[in-house]
Structure 1
Amino acid sequence: MNRVLTFIFFAAVVFFLLLPVIVVVGVSFNEKQSLSFPPVGFSWEWYLEIFTDSEWRSALINSLVLATFSAAVAVSVALPLSWFLSRRYAPWANVFRLLGVAPFILPPVITALGFLTFWATTGAYGEPWTAILSHGIFFVTLPLVTITLGFSSIESSLVEAASTMGASERTIFRTIVLPLILPYLISGFAFTFVLSLNEYIVAYMTVGFTMETLPIKIFNALRYGYTPTMASVSVLFVVVAAVVFGLIAKFGNLPRLLGNMSGEDK
């Protein structure tokens, strides 16, 4: 009896969490230009509009470019920082870890206002590369955490053996460390990519008036009414996130990536 009640409870929780997604998916297939649910008719037109309409297609390309390059920036910052923290045990080194985590701890609006003020002061406000750097700094915590977990999972005896054999730190990093932390690098990149793809506030504060990403396009389009295209874009975000995280779960050690260091790698 207890098992049945537990199953019913968790099924109800899952249904409650999935209900907004179910509604958005239904709305995205409306045949008419309305946000009615249940959907009236069935049409793929609103999904095709993301790729055929020049404005939506441009916003999609901008979002993909922003997410890709900002994820690369975040990993590029997190990798040497994690490597330094794993090799140096000075107490003051934790200051660097705190600086890496700080942007993600602060409220997004505060961080976005900070970026806006900084880029406006330097005269670079509105340039696309400012959004890339801002997102890279804002999301650096994610690859910092995953890559740090990767370094902590490396057996110290492997590094010591290579060092004893005369290998330099650069050789040790290239031949031993990098192959072992590669799954953590990829997962950090993927996490940052997905969140950057969906982020609105920082992007709007830095390039909102000069470059439209998909989230910015959705909010701008709300001024002219509601269309199922907005729901289609939302479903696209969910699908991309599900595919990325699904691939990480399938080909990576997801419990280890989430911080469970007790289990063995499989």
Structure 2
Amino acid sequence: MNRSLRNLFMGLVVLFMALPLLVVAGVSLNGGQQLRFPPRDPSPRWYAELFMAEDWLNALANSLVIATSSAALALAIAFPLAWFVWRYHTGYGRLLYGLGIAPFTLPPVITALGFLVFWTVAGWHGSILATIVSHAIFFVTLPLVTISLGLAAIDRQVIEAATTMGADEPTVFRTIVLPLVRPYLISGYAFAFVLSLNEYIVAYMVAGFTVETLPIKIFNSLRYGYTPVMAVVAVVFVLLAVLIFGLIARFGDLPRLLGAWSKE
């Protein structure tokens, strides 16, 4: 395939992938409360509606609280686990690692159903805390994998040299391991945050309509008729994801964070 055909093919692929986003962005600019593309009487009024309507603001606040807290909790679980598996190579450490990636490998509806049963029995179904914990467990795989990649990139000879020079375990961790793995901590948090912000099935199963996140709010709004605010929310989600992953790509090694190993 020559260069022109290759460029044409890639351009068509990009257009095919971007077309739904372009349509949603256009729909969000409709002047009236209607589903039209190209937009009729273009206006940014629905963007203001998202940040002025109390029900949408409450859903936005719930989503941000859940995403921020669950990503932090997922990181707090993943980092010690990844460190333990990397440092000590025990058999049960590998078992714990497998359990850490299991929630993300199962079909989401199966995991969500398990959370539903557990929190109902525990008497916490419908609480925001249950939603935060469920999201943290569901997305713990992301920081666990990224942190494990960062730890695997550390030269163990550096650790051995520091130990030989008299550094104890906490000093090695604080002065060598933590600075080297910090970008992977940030990236793992960012991955968990973005996906938690957009997650619907687990949030719906655990909280129902008691804790209304933005994805749940969109679903609820669809039951009572279309409003372009839903398209606005989709555009905001996409822009936020592009911003976060763009920063990771700019200041980090995005291919490696996604699982690619550097060539020697």
TM range (shorter): over 0.9
In the alignment, residue 260 of structure 1 is paired with which amino acid?
A: A
Compute the displacement of 1:209 (Å). Answer: 2.3
- Does 1:146 pair with 2:146? yes
Compute the displacement of 1:175 (Å). Answer: 1.4
In the alignment, residue 236 of structure 1 is paired with which amino acid?
A: V
- Equivalence for 1:118: 118
In the alignment, residue 188 of structure 1 is paired with which amino acid?
A: G
CA deviations over 1:15-59 (Å, ceiling 9, x no partner): 111111010000000011111111001111111111100000110
- Equivalence for 2:132: 132
- Equivalence for 1:66: 66
Gaps of 5+ in 1: none
Compute the displacement of 1:153 (Å). Answer: 0.8
- Does 1:93 pair with 2:100? no
- Equivalence for 2:201: 201
In the alignment, residue 248 of structure 1 is paired with which amino acid?
A: I
- Does 1:246 pair with 2:246? yes
Moved over 4 A (4+): none
In the alignment, residue 203 of structure 1 is paired with which amino acid?
A: A
- Equivalence for 1:8: 8
Which sits farther off after the overlay, 11-20 or 179-188? 11-20
- Does 1:168 pair with 2:171? no
Q: Answer yes or no: is the 8 Å Cα contact 2:109–2:202 preserved in 1.
A: yes
In the alignment, residue 106 of structure 2 is paired with which amino acid?
A: L
Q: Answer yes or no: is the 8 Å Cα contact 1:100–1:140 preserved in 2.
A: yes
- Equivalence for 2:221: 221
- Equivalence for 1:18: 18
Q: Answer yes or no: is the 8 Å Cα contact 2:209–2:216 preserved in 1.
A: no
Q: Answer yes or no: is the 8 Å Cα contact 1:150–1:184 preserved in 2.
A: yes
Compute the displacement of 1:118 (Å). Answer: 0.2
Distance in 2 separating the partners of 1:59 and 1:263: 45
In the alignment, residue 235 of structure 1 is paired with which amino acid?
A: V
Distance in 1 separating the partners of 2:19 and 2:80: 42
- TM-score between the two structures when normalised by the length of structure 2: 0.97
- Paired residue total: 264
Which sits farther off after the overlay, 208-217 or 179-188? 208-217
In the alignment, residue 224 of structure 1 is paired with which amino acid?
A: Y
Distance in 2 separating the partners of 1:254 and 1:224: 41
In the alignment, residue 170 of structure 1 is paired with which amino acid?
A: P
Other structure's SS at 2:136 match? helix
In the alignment, residue 219 of structure 1 is paired with which amino acid?
A: F
Q: Answer yes or no: is the 8 Å Cα contact 1:256–1:263 preserved in 2.
A: no
Distance in 2 separating the partners of 1:126 and 1:21: 32
Compute the displacement of 1:107 (Å). Answer: 0.5
Which sits farther off after the overlay, 84-93 or 60-69? 84-93
Compute the displacement of 1:254 (Å). Answer: 1.6
- Equivalence for 1:158: 158
In the alignment, residue 250 of structure 1 is paired with which amino acid?
A: R
Which sits farther off after the overlay, 103-112 or 168-177? 168-177
Distance in 2 separating the partners of 1:31 and 1:3: 43
Distance in 2 separating the partners of 1:64 and 1:193: 9
Identity over aligned residues, as a percent? 61
Q: Answer yes or no: is the 8 Å Cα contact 1:119–1:206 preserved in 2.
A: yes
Distance in 2 separating the partners of 1:260 and 1:27: 37
